[in-house]
Structure 1
Amino acid sequence: MRASNLGFICGLLLCVGSVQSVAQPHDTQEYEQLRQFLQQSIADSESFEDRFDAEVWLLDMSNRLQQYVKDPEQRLQLLQEVHRYASQSQLPPELVLAVIEVESHFDRFAVSRVGAQGMMQVMPFWKDEIGRPEDNLTLTSTNLSYGCRILQFYIKREKGNLTRALAAYNGSLGSTRYSDKVEAAWRRNWRGPNLDWE
């Protein structure tokens, strides 16, 4: 992705939904906190520090992703984007892959019953809220940027508690159903460096 495109993405206000529910801020204060956090997103950075690390990770994850994305070139392109946006948002890319599996099974055209779109199931009303109605949520780069930033926000807000953060992402705070699904997907297909699922 061109650097100019990456630059504007960092300032986006993001929100996600899911097949089961709409993940919206519950009150005005949370909404404003989310807006401020997302407007102060971290600067762009290269996601891989070492070419060898990149090759090892991409090969490993490409083999795992093959069941969902058959074309090898598409797999590598998707994995590069997942790694880039996850890293920019200080998220383990393996966690993002698990979220995508649960949300859409890697279908960039997925639409939930409540209208959430794309791989990470982003709610389209946010495009108008931030004055970017032209954003296309089926574009993988846009969708990953939205989804990763909002997940980063909830993980920070919940002080690293993945169960609570994932429930907030999904709009099901107080339930472990969604976080259990993501953890199961991570353990089954995307396990990487240890994550604290407690």
Structure 2
Amino acid sequence: MIQVEKVGIFLSKWVSFLAVLIYLIQSGLLIFLIKDKFDLERQLAFQQKRISELEERLQIFKAIEDFQIGFDKEEVGRLTDVVISESERYHYDPMFVLAIILTESSFRRGQVSSVGARGLMQMIPFVGADVAKRSGVNYDGMHSLFEPETNIKLGTLHLFEQILKFGDVEQGITAYNVGETRLRGLIRQNHEMPKRYLKKVMEKYKMLKETYAV
């Protein structure tokens, strides 16, 4: 009788051990599956983000290629990269930067205005030199403004500074065109802000968003 009880106790302990072991295995498997599912979802999200980024880059490349005058495909690729990087830096929509460039220079290489503004974003030399000095962008005289990457870096920063100074996007865009001093004078005298340039930029921005939608 005592032996039977001992055997029963032994079996009970063994069954309990197996139950605990099975529980631990099931728990470990569950944790593994949850982690595996989480990792898979994270990988899928990363891949989807990457696909979206590549699709956006392709649309920007297409837009530049369609409108550029005087650039080859390799240069269009570099322009695409700098437009994307500077847009990320200042939280622009890249298509907005393209709209500014189209309005300023029609994406024509070597463009010079009647007032001496140069390059894709039509930077005035003394403004470009000042922005470059403060930002650390390499600047070796006014001919640097004909280097597309340099011009875009300086232009996007100058525009960003104007928006910050005026605390208003529309005024910042207008100041980029007419100059900070002139716009402040108009505001101070309660004159209406010029609308023509802003209207052109927004029309081109709308066109680009509709034509090159991701």
Task: Write the mapping of 1:84-163 to structure 2, written as runs, cut at 5 A.
Answer: 84-126=85-127, 129=130, 130=133, 134-135=140-141, 136-159=144-167, 161-163=168-170
The CA deviation at 1:61 is: 2.1
Closer, same or farther: CA 59–171 of 1 in aligned 2, 3 Å: same
Q: 2:175 matched to 1:187?
A: no
Closer, same or farther: CA 61–127 of 1 in aligned 2, 3 Å: closer
> Aligned residue for 2:58?
59
Structure having greater relative contact order (Cα 8 Å, sep ≥ 6): 1
The CA deviation at 1:71 is: 4.1
Letter in structure 1 aligned against 2:53 = A
After superposition, the C-alpha distances for 1:172-195 in whole angstroms (9 at most, x for unaligned) are 6311110000000001124589xx
Closer, same or farther: CA 53–126 of 1 in aligned 2, 3 Å: same
With structure 2 as the length reference, what TM-score do the two structures score?
A: 0.59
Which of these residues, 170, 181, 194, is aligned with residue 175 of structure 1? Answer: 194
The CA deviation at 1:72 is: 3.7
Contact 1:103 / 1:119 at 8 angstroms: preserved in 2?
yes
User: What is the distance in 1 between the residues matched to 2:63 and 2:129?
Assistant: 36
Structure 2: unaligned runs, 5 residues or longer: 1-48, 184-192
The count of residues paired between Structure 1 and Structure 2 equals: 144
Higher radius of gyration, 1 or 2? 2
> Aligned residue for 1:68?
67
User: What is the distance in 1 between the residues matched to 2:67 and 2:86?
Assistant: 20
The CA deviation at 1:58 is: 1.4
Larger mean CA deviation between 174-183 and 65-74 belongs to 65-74
Q: Secondary structure at the match of 1:148?
A: helix
After superposition, the C-alpha distances for 1:96-116 in whole angstroms (9 at most, x for unaligned) are 100000000112311111111
> Aligned residue for 2:172?
165
Closer, same or farther: CA 147–102 of 1 in aligned 2, 3 Å: same
User: What is the distance in 1 between the residues matched to 2:116 and 2:56?
Assistant: 33
With structure 1 as the length reference, what TM-score do the two structures score?
A: 0.63
User: What is the distance in 2 between the residues matched to 1:83 and 1:91?
Assistant: 9
After superposition, the C-alpha distances for 1:68-97 in whole angstroms (9 at most, x for unaligned) are 237443322211111111221222211110
Q: Secondary structure at the match of 2:66?
A: coil
Q: Secondary structure at the match of 1:66?
A: helix
Identity of aligned residues (%): 27
Larger mean CA deviation between 113-122 and 162-171 belongs to 162-171
> Aligned residue for 1:10?
none
CA root-mean-square deviation? 2.7
Contact 2:101 / 2:121 at 8 angstroms: preserved in 1?
yes
Bigger proportion of residues as helix: 2
The CA deviation at 1:162 is: 2.7
